[in-house]
């Protein structure tokens, strides 16, 4: 039997209704912040991620699903949503829309990672990108939205950590100091880190290798080398978050795994598992990197599978939607009546089931019970002739006589 590829997941009906509930609540919140949905291709030209996410990141160096298509072009399955969204923003002239442009997405992402708890090869992200505002107020707006998502899903055990990783101006000074620190033990770092030393030493701080992590202890932190503008920006973010009553911790160790970040970066951590559920930050250079005008932006993405774990723990009462009615019928004329009623009630938005097996009375009863139908109507010869039947509430056992007429039944199902 062919099995699903490692690191992928089937979302079955026993779970998909929970995804739908989560997505519905999140969508409502995104609407309230006036973010609009964007959908971008599953695959892009490889160069987009090389330039956007960064040549020296783990994502680009180790984790991309890259292949040549039949036309010989190098194509990559999107490992994240920001690069594609910014490409679409530029390619479709969205810069001429009222600024800021506020976009959200809910899309599958692909990373060839070592599979473990909370780490898949196909996973989903709900993300937002706020393009156009360089103000600290935009950072706060986006962080508040992130916080509100956890609130909307009744998830309490979440910790917000923030940091600033500066701008290209202050970073070059920091990189010098960092190279001095790492350079002392460079021969002990992994081969990937060695290749990062000259081009992008900050990436070394993000290495997942145990030995490299140990060597990184005590490294100088970007937050201590911020220029005045970045420092001011970060102070304003912190003070506004405090005003908004949002609790946060400063974690100078957050470097984020993608190269496009500038200034504020943040993560929401599941306090029970220690996993990062939401990651994001400001990326003021990306639009320009892709050939557009200088345009600041800020955003985040939540890992939906990780979020689902937390949602499940905190929302045990969410139940699958059950059919409003099962219409039981045996015999061809009775079946016609059942079909007519089913069609018309379904058009009115009710969930209605009927026999499509030519099953016996008894097995239809069993089936109606198994699928948890809330009400049951039996159409037999008598009911057909009199056009009157009993509707039974399956939870209370209560029965009522009703005319076999859509409007009458509708009133009871409501």
Binding site for ligand HAM (CB under 6 A): 80-82, 111, 113, 118-120, 123, 125, 127, 129, 257-258, 276-281, 283, 299-301, 303, 305-306
- Smallest separation (angstroms) from ligand HAM to the CB of 94: 16
* CB nearer to ligand HAM: pick between 95 and 257: 257
Q: Are 179 and 153 in contact (CB under 8 A)?
A: no
In the block, tokens 């950072």 appear at 139
Q: Are 140 and 240 in contact (CB under 8 A)?
A: yes
* CB nearer to ligand HAM: pick between 195 and 273: 273
Cα–Cα distance for residue pair 259/282, rounded to 1 Å:
11
- Smallest separation (angstroms) from ligand HAM to the CB of 265: 9
Cα–Cα distance for residue pair 327/220, rounded to 1 Å:
71
- Smallest separation (angstroms) from ligand HAM to the CB of 14: 21
* CB nearer to ligand HAM: pick between 306 and 337: 306
Residues in the chain, how many? 414
* CB nearer to ligand HAM: pick between 309 and 324: 309
Strand 262-270: give its sheet, edge to edge. 36-37, 101-110, 122-131, 297-303, 276-282, 262-270, 158-164, 249-250
Residue nearest to ligand HAM (CB): 303
- Smallest separation (angstroms) from ligand HAM to the CB of 402: 51
- Smallest separation (angstroms) from ligand HAM to the CB of 401: 55
* CB nearer to ligand HAM: pick between 129 and 141: 129
* CB nearer to ligand HAM: pick between 166 and 281: 281
- Smallest separation (angstroms) from ligand HAM to the CB of 252: 17
């Amino acid at each position: 039997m062919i099995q699903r590829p490692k690191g992928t997941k089937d979302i079955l009906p026993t779970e998909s209704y929970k995804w739908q509930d989560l997505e519905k609540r999140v969508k409502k919140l995104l609407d309230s912040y006036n973010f609009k949905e964007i959908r971008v291709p599953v695959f892009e030209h490889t160069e987009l991620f090389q330039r956007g996410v960064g040549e020296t990141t783990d994502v680009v160096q180790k984790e991309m699903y890259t292949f040549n298509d039949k036309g010989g072009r190098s194509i990559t399955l999107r490992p994240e949503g920001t690069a594609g969204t910014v490409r679409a923003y530029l390619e479709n002239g969205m810069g001429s829309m009222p600024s800021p442009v506020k976009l959200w997405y809910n899309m599958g992402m692909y990373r060839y990672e070592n599979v473990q708890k909370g780490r898949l090869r196909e996973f989903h992200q709900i993300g937002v990108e706020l393009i156009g505002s360089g103000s600290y107020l935009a950072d706060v707006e986006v962080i508040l939205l992130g916080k509100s998502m956890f609130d909307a899903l009744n998830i309490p055990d979440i910790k917000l950590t923030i940091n600033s990783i500066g701008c290209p101006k202050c970073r070059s000074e920091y990189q010098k100091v960092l190279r001095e620190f790492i350079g002392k033990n460079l021969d002990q770092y992994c081969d990937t880190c060695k290749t990062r030393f000259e081009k992008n030493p900050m990436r070394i701080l993000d290495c997942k290798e145990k030995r490299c992590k140990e060597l990184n202890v005590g490294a100088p932190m970007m937050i201590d080398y911020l220029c005045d503008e970045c420092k001011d920006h970060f102070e304003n973010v912190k003070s506004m978050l405090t005003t908004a009553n949002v609790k946060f911790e400063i974690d100078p160790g957050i470097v984020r795994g993608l190269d496009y970040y500038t200034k504020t970066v943040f993560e929401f951590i599941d306090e029970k598992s220690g996993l990062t559920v939401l990651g994001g930050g400001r990326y003021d250079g990306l639009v320009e990197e892709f050939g557009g005008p200088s345009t600041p932006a800020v955003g985040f993405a939540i890992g939906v599978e990780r979020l689902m774990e937390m949602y499940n723990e905190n929302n045990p009462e969410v139940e699958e939607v059950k059919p409003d009615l099962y219409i039981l019928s045996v015999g061809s004329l009775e079946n016609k009546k059942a079909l007519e009623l089913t069609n018309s009630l379904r058009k009115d938005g009710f969930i209605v089931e009927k026999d499509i097996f030519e099953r016996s009375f008894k097995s239809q009863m069993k089936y109606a019970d198994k699928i948890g139908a809330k009400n049951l109507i039996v159409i037999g010869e008598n009911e057909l002739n009199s056009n009157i039947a009993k509707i039974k509430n399956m939870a209370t056992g209560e029965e009522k006589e009703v005319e076999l007429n859509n409007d009458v039944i509708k009133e009871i199902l409501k």
